[in-house]
Amino acid sequence: MNNRIFITGTDTNVGKTYVAVELLQYLARRGFSTIGLKPVATGCQRQATELYNSDALALQQHATEPLPYERVNPIAFVEPVAPHIAAQKQNKSLDTDFILQTCSPALNHPADIVVIEGAGGWYLPLNHQQTMAEVVVQWQASVILTVGMRLGCLNHALLTCRAIRQSGVPLLGWIANCIDEQMPYLTENIATLRAMMDCAYLGLIPYNQSARFDDRLDTILKRNGNVCHQ
Ligand SMILES: Nc1ncnc2c1ncn2[C@@H]1O[C@H](COP(=O)(O)OP(=O)(O)OP(=O)(O)O)[C@@H](O)[C@H]1O
Ligand SMILES: [Mg+2]
């Protein structure tokens, strides 16, 4: 079985893709083979008969293993709306079994680590009963929480951390991603979260810069069995 890292976030548009790309580059520098996976994407562009999503293209491009697009992003919708609503508008439906089934080719492809980007936040609905969190539990993926550093993120980060813990999956830690160049008291906000989050701080991504991952990320990856050959 591949080692799976699921990148979730405090909201949509908080930098999950930015973090996933930084992580793929970091893992590649350390000699790991990687796969990127975006199980469900909305806001896709149509080219000829196929749909493409910019997040999935970025993951595909920065993974070390070349996988066909439809394996990187098996479920795609044009409308930039909640996935279960996009599905419903096309007389389709989403559920955990469908996602497990459509993602299994990518997850079973040989690679050291699969970096999976969620859509929206931790409790992304798949229908009126199920959320993406249940799929992550089935995968037994380890989770990294992207905190988009902006006003309101403290509450979102604490709630999301608690919800992930409640799901019982391994939570590797959280990353402070600076999406607001002008955020007042950024340092104080990060200090608050470092004190209050019930998970490890994995580092900072300054605005428009590369990640400054904490050295602990290596240790944490090793502890979680994600480091296979180093
Ligand atoms: N550290 C950063 N510095 C500068 N811009 C950033 C940073 N992180 C994210 N952004 C920008 O913020 C926007 C949202 O980031 P991104 O697309 O990675 O978020 P997301 O959580 O993956 O969104 P979605 O929910 O749509 O998948 C993008 O325009 C991205 O380039
Ligand atoms: Mg994204």
* Of 38, 89, 92, 222, catalytic: 38
Which among 18, 77, 115, 205 is the best mutation to test ligand 1's pocket, defined by most ligand atoms within 8 Å of the CB? 18
pLDDT of residue 229: 41
| Chain segment 204-220, per-residue pLDDT in tens | 999 999 999 988 888 87
- 1 pLDDT more than 70: no
Nearest CA to ligand 1 atom 16: 15
Residues in the chain, total: 230
Mean pLDDT of the chain: 94
38 is catalytic: yes
- Of the chain, the percentage scoring pLDDT greater than 90 comes to 90
Ligand nearest, relative to CA of residue 208: 1
Ligand number nearest CA of 42 is: 1
Mean pLDDT of 154-172: 98
52-107 pLDDT per residue, tens: 999 999 999 999 999 999 999 999 999 999 999 999 999 999 999 999 999 999 99
Residues with CB under 6 A from ligand 1: 9, 12-18, 55, 120, 177-179, 205, 207-208
What number of CA atoms fall less than 13 Å from residue 77's CA on the CB side? Answer: 21
